[in-house]
Amino acid sequence: MRTEAQRSRGAGKDGPICLLFSVGQEGFAIRIEMLQEIVSPEGMRPLPTSDFAFCRELDFRGKRIPVLKLSDFFEYPGIPEGPKSVLVLRLGGESIGLLVDEVRGVWNIAESDLRPFPPMATSLDPRHIRGICKVEDNPVFCLNEDRLFQLAEIRHFFERAEDHP
């Protein structure tokens, strides 16, 4: 088993420190400055007004936040149920959650390490990916966090919350 020090690599590289996580067998990364907290998904429930299976909501610090179930959002079939975590991201005054299978550690990912995302390689929507890189010889998809906050269903959640606090 690797230690925390072994998981925190890429030090000295130019570029943001990123949190690495997995959804199924796929590796992903987000910029750590977007991360507000990692919490349990306990109490997460479907959004009552959503037709999208990937949208949930969770009470976080006394406020309801939308949660994207990434396995459904990215259409990864057959991911077994098991322990999961919610990554709470913050942009401006709004928070969203990402339901992930495993938090793997942190890594410096330089912009020069990012390669263009080949949209034909997977079912992932290229608008949600900033680029792809290798971490310990494994491919990692770097998410475009700003784009996740702009999803129509997420915007609708925030608009509804403003109308009905």
The domains located in the chain, with CATH, are 4-163 (2.40.50.180)
SS3 category, 17: strand
Please answer whether residues 104 and 20 qualify as being in contact, where contact means their C-beta atoms are separated by less than 8 angstroms. Answer: yes
pLDDT in tens, 84-136: 999 999 887 888 899 999 999 999 998 888 898 776 656 677 778 888 999 98
pLDDT in tens, 50-84: 666 678 889 999 998 989 888 888 877 777 777 89
Residue 35 confidence (pLDDT): 95
